[in-house]
Chain A
Amino acid sequence: MSVVFIGFAVLLLLILVFRMPIAFAMGIVGFFGFAILQGLGFDNLFSFRWTAPLTLASNRVVETVQEYSLSVIPLFILMGNIVTRSGLSQELYNASYAFLGHRKGGLAMSTVLACGGFSAICGSSLATSATMAKVAMPPMRKFGYSDSLATASIAAGGTLGILIPPSVILVIYGLLTESSIRELFAAGFIPGMLGIVLYMAAVRYVVWRNPAAGPAGERMTFKERMIALRGIWGVLMLFTIVMGGIYLGVFTPTEAAGIGAGGALVIGFARRSLSLPGLYETLIDTARTSAMLFSVVIGALIFSDFINRAGLPDALLNFVTALDVAPIVVILVILCIYVVLGMVFESLSMLLLTVPVFFPLVASLGFDLVWFGIVVVVVTEISLITPPVGMNVFVLSAVLKDVRAGTIFKGVTPFWCVDILRLLIIVFVFQVSMFLPELLYR
């Protein structure tokens, strides 16, 4: 077990002090950690059979860059980039500003709402953060919002989508635990809405503490509002097609990404705001961001292979089982473990590693597995924005080169604090998650 702690320590050292790109730091620690577990030592450095760890890493590289479900990453980013380059995002924000701008932090609130809506349909937090960074950041800056509030509202808003159905993560949880997927979807709805409300409250809190972070504008007249609305029909239509297409089952969320990108292209060309060189630049910009994200996912997967082999999941299970306490305390301990693991794990790998370990215990304590699924997903959402490894934050700082990860982490603190509050509400008020599934299906 000590090898796990050393592994974590070396990882943090490489990321924080050596300033190594996170993808490579995770990959290298995972690689050598795995090799050590396979018997690598100082005495056999040259006679050691490197085949196993090398094949492990190679497989992760080759299979991840060909993972179909990850194709949403480049496609939604492309859609966002085209929307931004065509000036559509500016108009969208002008419209939100016309309606919400007179409130303090109004634009950040509409960002949370937009991120929630967008990530709800695309189901990928990483893609949402990357897309909305392009769409929402320039207008918020223009209206004088502080970088920390602006980026934090994007990073936090982007986490909402893995709970609001349809959600890939919930489907995976359902398949792992054999619990009802439609009940999971129904159960995710109210907690997802609660998340939006609480994030808005977090924005209010930030601007209450520091009014300069999200300055209020002038109230616009009804006529001005209507004029602002006129510019956004194109982008509204695009979002309607993407969202409606998914909900009506015309195409899958993965395909929707391609349709959205194609639709954005058509709108861009139709408005003559997208030239051929502009298109080329948008494409390579998208490809660059995507390649960065794929690298991070690969590194995270190799690292989680090491942690899995080191037996961390089983050790945690043994630790929890050995506790002689009330069932609800066991749940709280499990949640603490998730929050801690979430600091360093990527969301999907955390789910795949821990759910098969914990769910039999949770079921044997008499808890509802649908409820536990919602709880687990909320914790996973939190993990996306907590330091030191918060994927959404990294994506944002990668897309917005001039904003430091530290700034975003600082800005996002109130958001994950309300997330913890939401988690406690869901844990202790059973009805918040289970009201809808019980009403609809039980």
Chain B
Amino acid sequence: AETTLRVATWLPPTNPQNATVWPTWKKWVEEATEGRVEVVIENYTGHPKTIYDAVEDGIYDVGFSVEAYLPGRFKLSGVAEIPGEITDAETGSVALWRTYKDYFEPADEYEGFQLLGLFVHGPGQLHTKFPVNSLDDLKDKKMRVGGGLVNDLAERLEVTPVSAPSPKSYEMMQQGVVDGTFLPAQEQKFFRLSEISTDLTLFPKGLYTTAFSIVMNQDVFEGLSTKDQQAIMSVSGERLSQLAGAAWGKADDNGILEAKEKGVNVVFLAENDQRVKDLNKLAEGIDQIWVDSVTDRDVDAKAALADFRKYVDDINSKK
């Protein structure tokens, strides 16, 4: 191969990103460029938030990370993180990419990068050591939370928030430091929450999600021939976003299966369930928090939010 792209990845080897997304994209890129570009996937052992610097400064050529680790820098993808917006990871990811293309691209949040894709993990749900028969059951319970808009929701649910990185969930729940955690259903399997939670309560549109971006070093991208640039982008963008979303979504299904197998009480809530209605009421106005937070970006946030919702509905109606 004429060029080798080094991909920085973190997460465990079995995570869909490493088990499915990277190997598939590697195959796509190598085929599309007829072998002129080779992809090598390397384990990143530093903090995932420094992956952005690592790619921008040429330590790696491609990488992905959580945007919420660097709030203030990446704000616009937060549109997907508003509670109750996405139904599943694939839909959310494709809708996010389309919204980016239509509205966010000129704001240039990815200065110094060639953006290859945007995706979200599945809807964040309730993993608890107690049954959630009504939202009042959550009151004063100690819940682990990460960063982002879910904190606003946690405050409205009147839980006692305990901030910690998500991989700490197992330890903290096992020891009883927290009574539950907000995470996507896949973590029943990956973080082994099925061993220590008694209840998994699934809201149709979840409580939140997390946006990830896949970025490439700008100089490396521009150093490729136009033909190869086009070849890489033909297998990235919406295609890569969809690939990632679908893979992460499938992991949610596996997480739910795992939970059932281990005897966790899995509760699917219907749209007309009182808990869902209560949640929707509580979450009212959080979308405005996001709109207000991006006023310093030259973007029509209201229209972007409306279109994001439209894309989600569009994609779902075609399923």
Chain A interface (Cβ < 8 Å from any Cβ of B) = 38, 49, 51-56, 59-60, 62-63, 67, 166, 171, 174-178, 180-182, 246-252, 255, 301, 304-305, 308-309, 349, 352-353, 356, 359-360
User: With A52-B59, A171-B171 known to touch, is A177 a contact of B192 (CB < 8 Å)?
Assistant: no
Select from chain A the residue with minimum beta-carbon distance to B178: A249
CA distance A180 to B192 in the complex (A): 7
Distance in Å from the Cβ of A159 to the closest Cβ of chain B? 21
User: With A178-B12, A252-B172 known to touch, is A55 a contact of B53 (CB < 8 Å)?
Assistant: yes
User: With A56-B59, A175-B167, A252-B177 known to touch, is A308 a contact of B45 (CB < 8 Å)?
Assistant: yes
CA distance A60 to B42 in the complex (A): 17
Report yes or no: B43 in contact with A352, Cβ–Cβ below 8 A. Answer: yes
A63 contact from B14, B47, B170, Cβ within 8 A? B47
Distance in Å from the Cβ of A335 to the closest Cβ of chain B? 21
B contact residues around A178 at 8 Å (CB): 12, 14, 189-190, 192
B175 contact from A246, A301, A304, Cβ within 8 A? A246
- Identify which of residues 5-54 in chain B touch chain A, using a CB-to-CB cut-off of 8 Å: 12-14, 42-43, 45-47, 49-50, 53-54
A contact residues around B71 at 8 Å (CB): none
Centre residue among A59, A309, A349, A353 by max chain B CB count within 10 A: A59
B contact residues around A56 at 8 Å (CB): 54, 59
Report yes or no: B13 in contact with A356, Cβ–Cβ below 8 A. Answer: yes
Centre residue among A175, A301, A309 by max chain B CB count within 10 A: A175
CA distance A309 to B61 in the complex (A): 13
Report yes or no: B177 in contact with A249, Cβ–Cβ below 8 A. Answer: yes
A59 contact from B46, B168, B191, Cβ within 8 A? B46
User: With A178-B190, A180-B192 known to touch, is A360 a contact of B45 (CB < 8 Å)?
Assistant: no
Select from chain A the residue with minimum beta-carbon distance to B192: A181
CA distance A67 to B12 in the complex (A): 20
A contact residues around B191 at 8 Å (CB): 175
Distance in Å from the Cβ of B90 to the closest Cβ of chain A? 23
B contact residues around A247 at 8 Å (CB): 175
- Identify which of residues 121-156 in chain B touch chain A, using a CB-to-CB cut-off of 8 Å: none
Distance in Å from the Cβ of A360 to the closest Cβ of chain B? 7
7 closest Cβ contacts across the A-B interface?
A: A249-B176, A249-B175, A55-B57, A59-B50, A52-B58, A178-B14, A63-B47
Distance in Å from the Cβ of B68 to the closest Cβ of chain A? 17
A177 contact from B12, B42, B58, Cβ within 8 A? B12
Chain B interface residue number, banded: 20 to 34
Q: Check: B195 CB closer than 8 A to any chain A CB.
A: yes
Select from chain A the residue with minimum beta-carbon distance to B56: A55
A contact residues around B160 at 8 Å (CB): none
Centre residue among B13, B45, B46 by max chain A CB count within 10 A: B45
CA distance A56 to B171 in the complex (A): 30
A contact residues around B59 at 8 Å (CB): 52-53, 55-56
For this complex, 14 residue pairs linking A to B, each with C-beta atoms less than 8 Å apart, are: A53-B59, A55-B53, A55-B54, A56-B54, A62-B50, A171-B167, A174-B170, A174-B192, A180-B195, A181-B174, A301-B45, A305-B45, A353-B45, A356-B12
Report yes or no: B13 in contact with A52, Cβ–Cβ below 8 A. Answer: no
Distance in Å from the Cβ of B172 to the closest Cβ of chain A? 6
A contact residues around B43 at 8 Å (CB): 308, 352-353, 356
B contact residues around A180 at 8 Å (CB): 192, 195
CA distance A181 to B175 in the complex (A): 13
B contact residues around A301 at 8 Å (CB): 45-46
Report yes or no: B12 in contact with A176, Cβ–Cβ below 8 A. Answer: yes
A contact residues around B53 at 8 Å (CB): 55, 59
A contact residues around B46 at 8 Å (CB): 59-60, 63, 301, 305
CA distance A356 to B59 in the complex (A): 21
User: With A56-B54, A56-B59, A178-B14 known to touch, is A304 a contact of B45 (CB < 8 Å)?
Assistant: yes
Cβ proximity bits B243-285 to A, threshold 8 Å, 1 near / 0 not:
0000000000000000000000000000000000000000000
CA distance A352 to B43 in the complex (A): 9
